Structure 1
Amino acid sequence: MIPTQKNIDLSNKSDFTIPVKWKRKLHIEEGVTVTLRVKNNNIVIKPSDNKTHDVMSTVGRKGRIYVPKETRDYFKHKRLRNFHIHIEEGEKAIILKP
């Protein structure tokens, strides 16, 4: 797992941008649908095959990824708000770790 040195505070923001080199490497470009799955208090973000019941979001301009309110509220109740952004090359995923 590779740390990006970027953080996000989900209590103040609902979206974040991933670095350009990782957008290309992970195939997470503008318009791509991604899934957000909560796993062991992490948020795992991966390109979607559109056949899922997971929470989904669409990648916006410049790689901006919106974290839906349901996901933010889940972590708000657990009093977790600050996440470090990591890249998991093997899984082609972005991991938000508290």
Structure 2
Amino acid sequence: MASWTFLSNHAHVLLCVAADPDRTLHDIARRVGITERGVQLILADLIAEGYLERERVGRRNHYKIHPEGRLRHPLEAHHRVADLLAALGSEPVPGG
């Protein structure tokens, strides 16, 4: 893998959740290339900042993206999460 990428691990985790709101930590970690603990911490950040919400469904988590959230960096703050997902070809799953 390349030594750097254009997107952060936070963006990668968000893209995984957008593609499948019921995806497991293990699967997200494998796809992003980080540890499950890293995924947990990123999900906690995204939830704390209002980009995601988590709902417990049985023994698993279901995530809902808040597409109206603004990106955090001043250079991107005029864009919403929905804009990022659309630009990268990953629309949030309805109800997800």
TM-score by length of 1: 0.29
Which has more radius of gyration?
2
TM-score, structure 2 normalization: 0.29
Structure having the larger proportion of residues in strand: 1
Structure with higher helix content? 2
Structure number with higher relative contact order (C-alpha < 8 Å, ≥ 6 residues apart): 1
